[in-house]
Amino acid sequence: MELVQDTSRPPLVKVKGVPLIKYFAEMVGPLQSFQAWPDDLLISTYPKSGTTWVSEIVDMIYQGGDLEKCHRAPIYVRVPFLEFKCPGVPSGLETLKETPAPRILKTHLPLALLPQSLLDQKVKVIYVARNAKDVAISYYNFYKMAKLHPDPGTWDSFLEKFMDGQVSYGSWYQHVQEWWELSRTHPVLYLFYEDLKENPKRETRKILEFLGCSLSEESVDHIVQHTSFKVMKKNPMTNYSTIPTEIMDHSISDFMRKGVCWSGWVLGEGRVEL
Ligand code: A3P
């Protein structure tokens, strides 16, 4: 794998007013000719909202709860990330070429940048929203370790940018709202990270129903157990440890960091634990 020098921390680039990681911005044009298939499933989230968690749950469902099959490849290969591009690494579109139906796709794009074909084909969408405070903290730590992002600066300055929609993928507020509104006209299962934490079995059952799948009680328990934070953190197929350090530096922060709700906001006086 050959990495070019300038992968590290390029400034964000705006596409239709939405700031994006430079390489991802370059993919928005080519993605417009992406052809969705009616049996695709799209997992859409604002970053750091539980994308990997739900991706693993859905892949386990598709594989009938068979752990061995879910170990066939890292999550970013099993669930291609549509707009992903990074020098020296297969892009999302390249990964897709090797992906058999039924495909599970991932995106963080706001609706204005989404390939139209996904809407035209009425592709089922699972959207996951997470409270903005935990997203901001998780995103700050992710910016530090994932070097395709610009340097996040101090927490205070990052939080200002986050609230102003000047981080990669733009405004959290607009994202969670517009995908909610899409669910009026499009098949969207709108989930909340906090609900998944509270009762993962109940939420997994919702996903099963939305997908029109059924599994035994035992298999559902197995999926819930395998997709717990503790297990996924140790699993190299879900914890992103297979990504080169030049792109994600786990010595700065783990990808699977804390996996909790309302993590750093209990200190009061505006102080947070990062
Ligand atoms: P933290 O940084 O707060 O720990 P995404 O996959 O959208 O990038 O989201 C990553 C966030 O989801 C991280 O949050 C990560 O720890 C958390 N996460 C991933 N898998 C999880 C799981 N099985 N249970 C709870 N949280 C999980």
Q: List the chain domain ranges.
A: 13-272
In degrees, rounded to 5, the angle at the alpha carbon of residue 21 between the alpha carbons of residues 104 and 34 is 40
| Residue 108 annotated to the active site | yes
Residue labelled with tokens 């992903």: 84
CA 260/CA 262 separation, integer angstroms: 7
pLDDT (0 to 100) of residue 6? 54
270: part of which helix (H) or strand (E)? Answer: none
Residue 229 CA to ligand 1 centre (angstroms): 8
- The ranges of the chain with pLDDT < 50 are 1-5
pLDDT (0 to 100) of residue 235? 98
- Closest approach atom of ligand 1 to CA 227: 23
Query: Phi and psi for 124 in degrees, rounded to 5?
Result: -65, 140
Select which of 108, 175, 186, 226 is catalytic. 108
CA 117/CA 193 separation, integer angstroms: 27
Q: Determine the topology of domain 13-272 in CATH.
A: Rossmann fold (3.40.50)
pLDDT (0 to 100) of residue 4? 46
CB 256 within 8 A of CB 262: no
pLDDT (0 to 100) of residue 7? 63
Q: Which of 49, 60, 108, 138 to mutate to test the pocket of ligand 1 (most atoms within 8 A of CB)?
A: 138
CA 173/CA 163 separation, integer angstroms: 9
Look at residues 37, 35, 10, 38 and name the one whose alpha carbon lies nearest to residue 25. Answer: 10
pLDDT (0 to 100) of residue 177? 98
CA 261/CA 135 separation, integer angstroms: 10
Give the tens place of pLDDT for each residue, 176-232. Answer: 999 999 999 999 999 999 999 999 999 999 999 999 999 999 999 999 999 999 999
Return the C-alpha torsion angle 135, 170, 124, 127, nearest 10: 20
Look at residues 155, 39, 57 and name the one whose alpha carbon lies nearest to residue 99. Answer: 39
Q: Which of 169, 229, 261 to mutate to test the pocket of ligand 1 (most atoms within 8 A of CB)?
A: 229
The DSSP letter of residue 5 is G
